[in-house]
Amino acid sequence: MSNARRWAFDLTLWTVSVIAGLALVAHEAMASEKRMTTGNARYQAECGSCHLAYPPQLLPALAWRRIMASLDKHFGTDATLDASAAAEVGSFLVGAAGTGKRVAGAGESLRITRTPWFVREHHEVSADVWRRPGVGGPGNCAACHTTAPQGNFNEHNVRIPR
């Protein structure tokens, strides 16, 4: 094999590897997004009537515990539950809570939208987009993530209201 052909062969091999690697990473990322389900009927019914039943994976267990302990003052509203619902919803959220880099640096905030992960994922969304009447704010996932109610936050299903 001549030097030129060897070089071309190496380049092709390198390109194919890089593309395959990227595809694998993308596939992994999509698969992990698909896993963001909110599979507890009581959680859906009790919390999902005022806001999307946010995926429990997006906050650490400590944050969910603090949210469940302060439902009488839940971001400006009374969201109290009866004892049985509180016990079931609380253990579901804590059990399915996020770990690792998605909740890293979540700090003391109880807001998913303040986690470094959320900020990073939405860095290209400008302030005026959040303020649009059809959006209303970063907590309204389903405004843009059309399949969010099904736990699917895949970027392909994002439609930003005008």
Partner 1 sequence: MQLETLRIGTGVALFLSASAALPATPAELLKGYETAVRAEDARFAGFSTERGREFFNARHGVEWSCASCHTANPATQGKHAITGKAIAPLAPAANAERFTDAAEAEKWFRRNCKDVVSRACTTQEKGDVLQYLISVKEEAR
Q: What minimum distance in Å lies between the beta carbon of 123 and partner 1?
A: 22
Q: Which is nearer to partner 1, 52 or 103 (CB)?
A: 52
DSSP state of 94: H
Q: Which is nearer to partner 1, 32 or 77 (CB)?
A: 77
Residues 6+ apart with CB under 8 A from 96: 56, 57
Binding-site ranges for partner 1 (CB under 8 A): 49-52, 72, 75-80, 82, 135-137, 139-140, 142-143
Q: What minimum distance in Å lies between the beta carbon of 84 and partner 1?
A: 10
Q: Which is nearer to partner 1, 82 or 108 (CB)?
A: 82
Q: How far is CA 98 from CA 54, 83, 139, in A?
A: 12, 24, 18
* Helices 61-68 and 83-95: angle between axes, nearest 10 degrees: 170
Q: What minimum distance in Å lies between the beta carbon of 129 and partner 1?
A: 14
